[in-house]
Amino acid sequence: MAVIPCPLVLKISGAKIVPQSNYHSGNSVKIKLLPNTETPIAIRKTPPIHGRANTPRPLQPIRFLHMAAQNVDSTDDRISRISSSIRVIPDFPKPGIMFQDITTLLLDPKAFKDTIDLFVERYKDQNINVVAGIEARGFIFGPPIALAIGAKFVPMRKPKKLPGEVISEEYSLEYGTDIMEMHVGAVQAGERALVVDDLIATGGTLSAAIRLLERVGVDVVECACVIELPELKGRNRLGDKPLFVLVT
């Protein structure tokens, strides 16, 4: 059976170019300029396709997020600034995954501040005592929100990361299970909590965080994420808990 290489050309607009050595191994990326332009492109070799006709593929853009979530004012200029700063990397960390890269948002101080401000504006008057951040990128967005609204920040961590006595909650992954842990005594019954992460996909980690907090009597007010992947229907796993996101 013939093996036909199938290159895919990806045009990057307005993104910083990362050296080839920094990309995930197995999907080589080379940067060059289009003739007579200053626009960089990345050429990525996709895995060989077996037994298919050698049909050329059209240019496919590396996608940036551009749609405001339904519960955000899409006319707010901050939303477009946030969405345009989030880069999507194909086939990372493995083939078939479109990785939502918020590190490019963090490189833009104004977009990063806009992100925090939008969350703070929503939660500053909701009497929230606890901001629970999910490891790891919930640790980026959670603490500045907590400081701004006068709440404490509680890290929700992977197993064996917290040094004190912990309470644990197991949750399902696509293949197997994982565990989320929180320090005993970090929260008190009757406190009102906001659960923060960068992204909701299948909703497994957010639902585990909700269960963990509710087991000790905490009222989970809402979950907040920068990005939602609605096609994965993660919000369906949150039960009756509301979800607030900025871009989808």
Q: Provide the annotated active-site residues.
A: 137, 174
E-strand stretches of 201-238: 219-228
Nearest to 197 by CA among 239, 248, 244, 134: 134
Whether 42 and 62 have beta carbons less than 8 Å apart is answered as: yes
Neighbours of 76 (CB within 10 A): 14
Site of tokens 């200029």 = 77
The DSSP-derived string for 129-184 is -EEEEETTTHHHHHHHHHHHHT-EEEEEB-TT--SS-EEEEEEE-SSSEEEEEEET
For residue 19, give Cα distances in angstroms to 24, 34, 42, 218.
11, 18, 11, 46
For residue 30, give Cα distances in angstroms to 9, 82, 93, 166, 181.
10, 27, 18, 46, 41
With vertex at residue 57, the alpha carbon angle to CA 54 and CA 58, rounded to the nearest 5 degrees, is 155
